[in-house]
Chain A
Amino acid sequence: MPSPSEKIIGYVTPRPFGPFAMPVPAQNSCLREYAAQMGFTYALPQCEHIFKNCHVQLFGTLNSAPDGGHIVMYSSYMLPDVASDLEKLLEIQRAKNLTFHFVLEKKMMACPEDVRKMLKVRRIAAIARHNNALKKTILQHV
């Protein structure tokens, strides 16, 4: 349990993420509730920009977070897809010892290895979804 003064900093996006789209106020409510449940003081999130692959606000949040800080977002799908951006994010996470909290996945990740492991699971999930569609197509044609 964190001390009552320990902050968790939110991050929200107006863009669809992964297979999901969620209004910003709904993301904000979930993050606020998560912070309360975990005993953190909730720091208002910066809202990401609408442009594809833009993560200016996410990196700004990481850069301004204190060493050992906590960042909460609704889903890990909100992390960058572009490899160089993801590597930069993991570099900052390691350098500042940051912990990411993902509400949807119910995961707390304190090191880049945890994030990489989760991304591997995400790739498997994407393949599984694709295979399901492929199976349906095959069934329609036999």
Chain B
Amino acid sequence: MIAGYAMEDAVHAFAEKRYAIFPAQDPSVFAQFQSAIRQSAEAYLGRPIDALDVLHHYVTPAEINKIRLKIYNDLNKRKDWKIAYYALATDTLKSLFGPDVSIQIKLNLSIQIPEDESSMLLLHTDTLSGQSPFECVLWTAVTDAFDSNAMYIFDEKSSKKLYQQLPSYQHKGMQQLFEDNRDNAQFINVPAGACVLFSSTLFHGNRVNCTDKTRISLNCRFKSLFSPEYAAIPHERVTGTFYEPLFLSPVTKIGLEYDDAIAF
């Protein structure tokens, strides 16, 4: 489902599969992100580039992390990035999370240049690292994602199966778990400007990019303000250090202002 933005379709797909694919709701905001990334890359390189998907013509794998950090820092310096990123899927996010929403503190950037093995994020779920199962990831393709430069995702049923298999892969690792279940992986081939909204409970990842194009994508997480967070061990992926409030409903504002500490 890419052609046009229909919030109902996205919400329905999400409810059914725990992920939804749709074009950015506000294409002009997407264009601003794309342009900002290009400007930042050109500032780092000190010269113009032909296109973002040929970034590998200008940088080596050894340099890729430096340019990624430069663009990441530039994007996160923009005061309006949180509202802008939300605008890529306003209606869907509002429908799923309601008026009280938290957003991840930082906007993440992935750059997968051809044949680069140093930037891979193998099979994982966000919840396995301590993030809230009430969270969703909004992933946006900045360049076309296709073939081996596309991310993959496992649907609800397959993800549950992978969870159950995890302990028996202690010594074999996640890559082997992926190889043994790759038939169930769904590769997300989408054009630049497409968004994928998926639950943090779903397994996903990427592979070595064997295409001749660089893939660039953005990702950021949302959850409803008061939804539970993983608390069994102390860690930083909680409100204040990982998420922060983006929108508060009028009722929530009243509740937060209410002071019942009256001394008699």
Q: How large is the interface on B (under 10, 10 to 19, 20 to 34, 35 or more residues)?
A: 20 to 34
CB-CB under 8 A for A4 and B62, given A41-B118, A60-B175: yes
Question: Quick check: which of B92-100, B147-155, B229-237 contacts chain A, the rest being far away?
Answer: B229-237
User: From residue B243, how far is it (CB to closest CB) to chain A in Å?
Assistant: 14
Complex alpha-carbon distance, A59 and B170, angstroms:
7
A residues near B (Cβ < 8 Å) are 4-5, 7, 14-16, 21, 23-25, 32, 41-44, 46-50, 54-57, 59-64, 85, 88
Chain A contacts of B175 at CB under 8 A?
60, 63-64
Assess whether B124 is interfacial by the CB under 8 Å rule: yes
B170 touches A85 (CB 8 A): yes
Q: Which residue of A lies closest to B125 (CB)?
A: A49
CB-CB under 8 A for A50 and B122, given A61-B173, A64-B173: no
Assess whether B79 is interfacial by the CB under 8 Å rule: no
| Interchain Cβ contacts under 8 Å between A and B, 6 examples | A14-B129, A16-B234, A41-B65, A49-B166, A50-B129, A64-B175
A47 touches B124 (CB 8 A): yes
Chain A contacts of B130 at CB under 8 A?
14, 50
Q: Which residue of A lies closest to B63 (CB)?
A: A41
Tell me the number of A-to-B contacts counted with CB atoms below 8 Å: 92
For the complex, would chain A's binding face be called helix, strand, loop or mixed by DSSP majority? mixed
A16 touches B170 (CB 8 A): no
A59 touches B118 (CB 8 A): no
Complex alpha-carbon distance, A54 and B118, angstroms:
23
Chain B contacts of A5 at CB under 8 A?
61-62
Q: Which residue of B lies closest to A52 (CB)?
A: B233
